[in-house]
Structure 1
C-alpha cells in the first residue's frame, strides 16, 4: 500500500465502498470513482475530497488514476462485467481488487471483530462499534450503515488494536477477512443467485467460521442451522433473547423504554437500557455486548453505551414521531427481516393502523422468496407495493412485484415509484407509515415526510 498513491472505486456510492474511500482519504491518498447515480452519500464524499462522476466513461477517469503502478482499483461485485471502466482497467493490467479483499488487507494486522448474518449485521456491528468507541478499548470500524451518533460509516482510532467489520456474505466476500472474533446473527438462505442452494449458503458460513484466529471466539445465535468449523483454541458461545451463554432476563417494556439484565457466563449486568427501544434490538444488543464483554468492556461502559446508542440510518429509523402520524424507515429486504420489522412496529403501536410501502430488491430474490414475502407483508394492516428495484440484475421474464402482490392477504395497492407521492398525498387514513426495502426508496423519504407533515 505504501506505493499506492491513488485509489479508484467502481461503485463508490455503495455503503461499504464509501467507508473504504473515507479511510483512504484519511490516509492522504487521492480518491476518485464512478457510480451510476448521485446520492446524498456521494455528495458527502465529494465534499470530503473525492472526485466522482456518474457516466460510465473512461475519459472521465482522472489522469492520476491512470498509472497502473501507483493506482489501486477497487470494485464491488454489484457492478456489471460489461462496465467500460472495469474493462479498461482489466485490459491495462491494473491491480484490481474486490472491496472485501482490500478490507481484509487493512484489518489483517488488527483484532478484527466481524459481524455476519443474513440480517442484523449492520445493527449489531454498529452497536459493537459504539460500545467499543465509548469504552476504554476504542476501535476502528467499517460499517454498512451511517451511524447516527457519528454521522459516518467509518470510525477511526489512532491507538486501538480493534477493528469492527460488517462481514458481508454476498459473493463470499467475508472469506477475505481475518476475524479475531466473529458474531453470526442468522443464516436464513439468501443470495441464491450466487449460492444456488441453502446447503451451499450454509457451507459459506462454515468456511467463515474456520477463519477465526486461534485464541479468538465465535458468538452465534442460539439454535441456528449452522455447524461451525472452528480451529483449535477458538471458543464457541451462543446467544439469544432468552437462551444461550449470553441472554437477557427481567425484560421490562413500557413507557417507550426497554430495560433488561444482561446474563454472561460469569456475571449478570443489571439495568441495561436500549437507546433504540425496539424489541428486536434486545437480541441484537445481546450479541454485540457479548463480543464487547469477551474483550474486556466493563459493566458501566456497557450500560452507558447501550443507553446512548442512536442507531444506524435506515435501520428502524424514526423519521417522524407525532401523536397523529409516525413514519419509520427500515432497510429490511428479506422475508424474515420484514416479518421482524412489521411485528416490532405493531407491538409499538398496537392501536394504530400500520401502512407499509415495500420496494422489492432484486428479481432473483423476488422469484426465490415470493410466497415468503407475501406472508410477511400480510402482517401489515395495509400494503403499498412498488416495482422491483433491479440493482445489478437484468429483468427475468414473469418476475414482477405482482407475483408477491397476488398472494398478499391484507388490503393492498400496487403502484410504481412515480405514482407513490400523489397516492400518499391523497390518502387521509395514514397513522403509522413504514417504508421498507434495500433499493432506492430512500431517495423518496424526504418528499414522503413533507407530505405527511402537511397532513398535520
Structure 2
C-alpha cells in the first residue's frame, strides 16, 4: 500500500513535465489550494503561461537550478533518470511523487468519485463533473481532457466532492482512496505494462477493493470484464453497494428505446420498482448513453433528485477529442476522436455511421504505440473496415522504441475497405478527393493525427473552389 500524503506535507512543489494535461491539472489544483508551485517542460506550451498567471514559476528546458528551493517533486510517467532535474532531486534527497500521488494529496479531505475503465473514463468523469456543477455542488475535478462547459480539465471547486479520472495504464490509480468507483469496462490494453489480460482485470479488482465499507461500485453490465468485476465484488465484499447499468436485462439500471438523431442521443433509464428517467444528451452514440447512465447513478448517490441529474447531463456538450466536431466544408463534416483501442475505434465509427445517415464515412487513423499495434492490429483492421475509406498513418511511437516486424502496414494490409497506408502529408488531399456532401471525415488516434483536421478542411475548401 502506497504512503498517502496531504498537501500540508509537501511544502514547495516542483513539477517535471508540467505542460502535460495530467500534470498541469494537479498543478492547477495545488495552486488553488495555496501550495507554492514551480515546474518545467521541454516545450513552451500555452498552458505554461496559464499556470504562470495563476502564480506558478515555470521554465522551458530542463536544468538542475530550476528546482530552486523545492521540497517535493512531482513527475509524469515520461520522466526518467537522466533528466537533469530528476537526477538533481534524487541527489538532494527530495520527496519524489508520481503525478497520481500528487493528485491523491490534492484529493485529501474530499468525498472522491473515481472513474476507471479501458474506454469511456474521460467522458464519464466529464459528465459527472458537469452534472454536479450544474446542480450547484461545486465539485473539484481532474480529468484527462479539457471539457466544454467546465473550461478546464482540473479545478478546485470548493465543495466536498472530487471527481477524478483514474488512469489504469500503469496501475497508478491504486494510489487513490476513492469513496465511489465507476468502472466503464475492463479489456486487455497497456499490455506493455501488465503483460496479460488477466493482470489488467486483477488491477481493476485491486482498485475496486480500495473502497471503504458502504462505498459504491458502479459497473457496466454490458461489458464482460466490468460485469465480472461487479459479480466478484458482490461475492467478496458484501459491505459494498454494487450497482450495474446497461442495455441488457440483467442491469440494475436498464437503458431502453435508444434514439439517435441530429448528433443527439436519447433513451429511457429504468430501475427499481417502475422508476424511470429520460436521458436526453447533446452527444451521439450508445456508448455515451451508457456513460450518462453511470453518471446518473453517481448523481443520485451524491444526493441529486433524478430530475436534477437528468438536467445536468443534458447540459454536457462533450470532452475534447471525443467525437469532437472540427468544422464543415463542401458539405462534409470533420470530426476528431482520441480512440486508440479497437473497441474505441469501433464505437467512434458506429457513432459516425449514425450521424452520417445516408452519407459515407472516411477515416484517417494513426496507430498509437508499437506494442498496442502488435497486440491489436487485427482488431483495428476489423473496426476500421466499418468505414467506407480508411487511411492508415505510421505508428505514433510516444514513449516506445520500434519493435521489429511491427508497423502500421499490419493494420493497412488487413483492411476490408477502400484505403490503405498513407503519409500524413497526402492524407488530407486523398480524403477530400473521395468525400462528398453529406459524408463524414474523421481523424482517429491518440497521437498528432488530430492536427490534420484543419488541413482536411482546407483541402475540402480547395475541392469546393475547384
Displacement of 1:138 in angstroms is 3.3
**8 A Cα contact 1:250 1:261, kept in partner:** yes
Match of 2:342 among 322, 325, 335: 335
Q: Is the aligned partner of 1:308 residue 2:315?
A: yes
Name 1:245's counterpart in structure 2: 252
Name 1:221's counterpart in structure 2: 220
Displacement of 1:438 in angstroms is 0.9
Q: For residue 397 of structure 1, give the secondary structure of its aligned residue in structure 2.
A: coil
**8 A Cα contact 1:241 1:286, kept in partner:** no
1:251–1:379 distance in 2 versus 1, CA, 3 Å: closer
**8 A Cα contact 1:136 1:297, kept in partner:** no
Name 2:109's counterpart in structure 1: 109
Q: Is the aligned partner of 1:387 residue 2:394?
A: yes
Structure 2 residue runs of 5 or longer lacking an equivalent are: 1-6
Give the distance between the partners of 1:169 and 1:438, measured in 2 at CA: 16
* TM-score between the two structures when normalised by the length of structure 1: 0.91
Match of 1:445 among 425, 445, 453: 453
Match of 2:326 among 319, 323, 329: 319
Structure 1 residue runs of 5 or longer lacking an equivalent are: none
Q: For residue 152 of structure 1, give the secondary structure of its aligned residue in structure 2.
A: coil
**C-alpha deviations, 1:216-253, integer Å up to 9, x for none?**
11011115233344645211111113440112223333
**C-alpha deviations, 1:350-392, integer Å up to 9, x for none?**
3212111111111111111111111111111111111111111
1:175–1:42 distance in 2 versus 1, CA, 3 Å: same
Name 1:357's counterpart in structure 2: 364
Q: More displaced, 261-270 or 212-221?
A: 261-270
Give the distance between the partners of 2:395 and 2:60, measured in 1 at CA: 22
1:36–1:20 distance in 2 versus 1, CA, 3 Å: same
Displacement of 1:153 in angstroms is 0.4
**8 A Cα contact 1:216 1:234, kept in partner:** yes
Give the distance between the partners of 1:39 and 1:186, measured in 2 at CA: 33
**8 A Cα contact 2:33 2:156, kept in partner:** no
Name 1:436's counterpart in structure 2: 444
Q: For residue 144 of structure 1, give the secondary structure of its aligned residue in structure 2.
A: coil
Give the distance between the partners of 2:133 and 2:418, measured in 1 at CA: 45
**C-alpha deviations, 1:41-63, integer Å up to 9, x for none?**
4454455444444434435x2xx
Displacement of 1:39 in angstroms is 4.2
Name 2:68's counterpart in structure 1: 66
* TM-score between the two structures when normalised by the length of structure 2: 0.89
Name 1:129's counterpart in structure 2: 129
Give the distance between the partners of 1:224 and 1:265, measured in 2 at CA: 23
Displacement of 1:404 in angstroms is 1.4
Name 2:3's counterpart in structure 1: none
Output the aligned Cα RMSD: 2.3
Displacement of 1:183 in angstroms is 0.6
Give the distance between the partners of 2:39 and 2:150, measured in 1 at CA: 24
Give the distance between the partners of 1:125 and 1:96, measured in 2 at CA: 27
**8 A Cα contact 1:261 1:268, kept in partner:** no
1:352–1:142 distance in 2 versus 1, CA, 3 Å: same
Give the distance between the partners of 1:137 and 1:156, measured in 2 at CA: 12
Name 1:28's counterpart in structure 2: 34
Match of 1:407 among 414, 427, 430: 414
Give the distance between the partners of 1:255 and 1:440, measured in 2 at CA: 28
**8 A Cα contact 1:108 1:177, kept in partner:** no
**C-alpha deviations, 1:61-97, integer Å up to 9, x for none?**
2xxx332xx4321112233443333222222211100
Match of 1:15 among 17, 21, 27: 21
**C-alpha deviations, 1:324-375, integer Å up to 9, x for none?**
1101111100011001111111122132121111111111111111111111
Give the distance between the partners of 1:74 and 1:121, measured in 2 at CA: 23
**8 A Cα contact 1:72 1:94, kept in partner:** yes
Name 2:4's counterpart in structure 1: none
Q: Is the aligned partner of 1:152 residue 2:152?
A: yes
**8 A Cα contact 2:296 2:310, kept in partner:** no
1:36–1:426 distance in 2 versus 1, CA, 3 Å: farther
Name 1:209's counterpart in structure 2: 208
Q: More displaced, 381-390 or 31-40?
A: 31-40
Name 1:192's counterpart in structure 2: 191
Q: Is the aligned partner of 1:397 residue 2:404?
A: yes
Give the distance between the partners of 2:407 and 2:357, measured in 1 at CA: 32
Give the distance between the partners of 2:454 and 2:347, measured in 1 at CA: 24
